[in-house]
Amino acid sequence: MSSLSKLRKNAENYKINEFYRNMTPEQYQEGIRIAIQNTTDDLTRKYNANLEKLKEEANRNISQSATLAIDTISVELLYELGRQLGCFEENAEYLEEKIDKVRDIYINTMEAINKYTRYKKGNQARKDFEKKKHKVEKMFNVKF
């Protein structure tokens, strides 16, 4: 460090020390109050920014998990329907009709899921879903 920069540093330290030495107790208390408020505001901003990042990451993970679950169920269900209808067999009879039926089932299912997500009132979507769920459970003797 050069002599000039040492002099500047010492002069700055002297000014700061003189400023604090000449403060009244009220000014000192006000300075502490301002410092606490500034620190609180800064920490609050950092906390809120970190919280927002965590929420965005959690929402992204939930969305990815939901998409993966829907894709997995869709593929497995379509595959099983196709397998049981004999769509994958060589020279399958009525193949086009079977493919159309499986495709219709898939399209109707996805439209129903999209309808549930578009409902403004979650209760109506839930009621519609519960009715279908109970019908399926009763008809096919399965529990969800």
| Residue 36, amino acid | I
Least confident of 21-30, 33-42, 119-128: 119-128
Q: Is there a contact between 78 and 102 (Cβ–Cβ < 8 Å)?
A: yes
pLDDT tens figures, 47-99: 999 999 999 999 999 999 999 999 999 999 999 999 999 999 988 889 999 99
Residue 25 banded pLDDT, cuts 50, 70, 90: confident
Q: What share of the chain is helix, strand, coil (3-state, %, to 5)?
A: 85, 0, 15
Range 28-34 contact pairs with CB under 8 angstroms and sequence separation of 24 or more: none
Q: Is there a contact between 105 and 79 (Cβ–Cβ < 8 Å)?
A: no
Domain boundaries, the chain: 1-68, 85-144
Handedness of CA 95, 67, 121, 136 (dihedral sign): positive
Q: Is there a contact between 86 and 74 (Cβ–Cβ < 8 Å)?
A: no
